[in-house]
Amino acid sequence: MIMDRTIVAISTPIGEGGIGIVRLSGPSSFAIADEIFSPSSGNKPSECPTHTIHYGRIKDPGTSEVLDEVIVTLMRAPKSYTKEDVVEINCHGGIQSVKKILDLTVKCGAKMAEPGEFTKRAFLNGRIDLAQAEAVLDVIRSKTDGSLKVAMAQLDGELSRNINEIRDQILDITSEIEAAIDFPEEEIKDTERTTISEAIDKAIAQLHKLISTYDEGQIFREGVLAVICGRPNAGKSSLMNLLLKRDRVIVSAIPGTTRDAVEEMISLRGIPIRLVDTAGIIDTKDPLEREGIIRSKRYLARADIVILLLDSSVYMEEADRDIIKICEGKKVVAVLNKTDLPRKIDIKSVWDILPGSKLIEISVEKRKNIEMLEKEIADVIWSGDFTQGQGAILNNARHKELLDKALSNMLSVKKAFKEDQPEETLSIDLKEAITALGLVIGKSISDDILDRIFERFCIGK
């Protein structure tokens, strides 16, 4: 499918930079380049071979004004990002140059691209499927190595291959069953029944497996909310600064220093973590401190993981016990801080209230055992059924919803098949499952859903 309009956009972030790129895609890209580009070689872009780079100047054909000194990359269809003729103009970074060149291409007939329109064309022209197109956005927004790895695997078609495989199996089941509808006099033989029944179970198992990766996908996409809590002066803000590797929050020897919860993103062993420093929890009359503690508790309630900090240089108090109680039911990493100071805390009483828990002994001051703590945080996050970024991973709510739909259809198929219900009944659910899986990769998707997906992209991608 070739779009008739040529689109243009500034594909680099707006602002000062080394270079800025204006990208054209569509049937008139080369004609527009011919009009505005004066190559030093004298060869017009339309006469140059594909995938070549040319030095020259951008000139307004109306006024002969030179706008910038540029490098132009020519990529002829179908070997380009959009599978259309693409021209990329590398000019000097900065707002004026790119903007003027953009305006000039529009004067020459290009249309300003909508958000994600280049990627949308790559999809509509069949270079990538919809799940891969959506992965482009995830690649751009990746927060850590881990998120990037998952997004790149999806862009590479890992998820699509999985979806296609399951969809093909369900198509096979459908044709077996439809044959029975077409030739009703031929009863389905017992051996065929067993084969169909096994195929249904296999599809269900594969759907289950893929759906079960969604929690992990969310970790890579949205990050893990890790809340540092403990009583005042335990060293929470000191730990926050150390893990962030910068002096972000105020640290002081006065208890009750932190009032507002502070959230920052970090990458811990490739996992995106939204790390939160909170106000120390203690019974207090100070209205400001109380407000801070309310916020701490709110964060604690939402935490995916709690980093519980205990001060080893003081005796355990009621406040510590109260905090531990609040953390019940959460994934907790228990940490003993200030181990460089003489120990006063009674470890046995800690074990009593945190039975079976590992206690990581650190000193923020002396940077002791910080790596061990990071490893423990990662281990606690990955405790459970996680692949840690291996294989196809579901990270998109749209995909999850469609797979849930396909699974529920297949469970109905299983039940109906067992109960020997009419083949027509089975056929409806099978077709719905096939449609749902097709929608993940963009088969027969409606325009309004496509618009909704691509409007979240940036302009120029």
Ligand X SMILES: Nc1nc2c(ncn2[C@@H]2O[C@H](COP(=O)(O)OP(=O)(O)OP(=O)(O)O)[C@@H](O)[C@H]2O)c(=O)[nH]1
Give the residues lining the site for ligand X (CB under 6 A): 230, 232-238, 251-253, 255-258, 279-280, 337-338, 340-341, 363-365
Closest to ligand X by CB, 125 vs 233, is 233
Both structure tokens of 17? 């930079």
Tell me the β-bridge partners of 309. 335
Per CB under 5 A, the segment of 16-24, 223-231, 256-264, 281-289 that binds Mg ion is 256-264
Three-state DSSP state, 184? coil
Q: What's the rounded Cα separation, in Å, for the pair 35 and 31?
A: 6
- 45 Cβ contact partners less than 8 Å away, ≥ 6 residues apart: 30, 33, 34, 37, 39, 54, 72, 74, 87
Q: Least CB distance from residue 381 to ligand X, whole Å?
A: 23
Closest to ligand X by CB, 143 vs 338, is 338
Closest to ligand X by CB, 76 vs 236, is 236
Place of tokens 């291996």: 390
* Residue 221 binding result from ligand X, Mg ion, none, given CB thresholds of 5 to 8 Å by partner type: none
Nearest to 242 by CA among 278, 292, 277: 277
Closest to ligand X by CB, 72 vs 323, is 323
Q: What's the rounded Cα separation, in Å, for the pair 82 and 26?
A: 8
In the bound complex, which residue of the shown chain has the CB atom lying closest to ligand X?
Answer: 280
Q: Least CB distance from residue 329 to ligand X, whole Å?
A: 23
Both structure tokens of 102? 């953009």
- Residues present in the chain in total: 461
* Residue 397 binding result from ligand X, Mg ion, none, given CB thresholds of 5 to 8 Å by partner type: none
Q: Does the protein bind Mg ion through residue 241 (CB under 5 A)?
A: no
For 428, how many CA atoms within 13 A lie in the half-sphere containing its CB? Answer: 6
Tell me the β-bridge partners of 306. 227, 332
Answer yes or no: are the C-beta atoms of 39 and 45 closer than 8 Å: yes
Q: Does the protein bind Mg ion through residue 337 (CB under 5 A)?
A: no
Closest to ligand X by CB, 180 vs 282, is 282
* Residue 232 binding result from Mg ion, ligand X, none, given CB thresholds of 5 to 8 Å by partner type: ligand X
* Residue 253 binding result from ligand X, Mg ion, none, given CB thresholds of 5 to 8 Å by partner type: ligand X
Answer yes or no: are the C-beta atoms of 362 and 370 closer than 8 Å: yes
Both structure tokens of 418? 């067992």
* Residue 256 binding result from Mg ion, ligand X, none, given CB thresholds of 5 to 8 Å by partner type: ligand X
Closest to ligand X by CB, 120 vs 259, is 259
Place of tokens 């990493």: 333
Q: Least CB distance from residue 240 to ligand X, whole Å?
A: 8
Q: Least CB distance from residue 153 to ligand X, whole Å?
A: 39
Closest to Mg ion by CB, 144 vs 258, is 258
Q: Least CB distance from residue 166 to Mg ion, whole Å?
A: 50
Q: What's the rounded Cα separation, in Å, for the pair 435 and 445?
A: 9
x/- contact string, 190-229, with Mg ion (CB under 5 A)? ----------------------------------------
Q: What's the rounded Cα separation, in Å, for the pair 432 and 367?
A: 57
Q: Does the protein bind Mg ion through residue 278 (CB under 5 A)?
A: no
Per CB under 5 A, the segment of 130-138, 176-184, 258-266, 348-356 that binds Mg ion is 258-266
Q: Least CB distance from residue 256 to ligand X, whole Å?
A: 5
Residue from 218, 237, 296, 312 binding Mg ion (CB under 5 A): 237
Q: Least CB distance from residue 224 to ligand X, whole Å?
A: 21
Q: What's the rounded Cα separation, in Å, for the pair 103 and 392?
A: 42
Per CB under 5 A, the segment of 183-191, 252-260, 359-367, 408-416 that binds Mg ion is 252-260
Q: Least CB distance from residue 227 to ligand X, whole Å?
A: 13
Around Cβ 373, how many Cβ atoms within 10 Å? 22
Answer yes or no: are the C-beta atoms of 284 and 256 closer than 8 Å: yes
Closest to Mg ion by CB, 169 vs 313, is 313
Q: Least CB distance from residue 241 to ligand X, whole Å?
A: 8
Question: What is the C-alpha R_g of the chain?
Answer: 30
Tell me the β-bridge partners of 59. 66
For 383, how many CA atoms within 13 A lie in the half-sphere containing its CB? Answer: 11
Q: Does the protein bind Mg ion through residue 258 (CB under 5 A)?
A: yes
Tell me the β-bridge partners of 264. 275
Q: Least CB distance from residue 340 to ligand X, whole Å?
A: 5
Q: What's the rounded Cα separation, in Å, for the pair 26 and 37?
A: 17
Residues that bind Mg ion (CB under 5 A): 236-237, 257-258
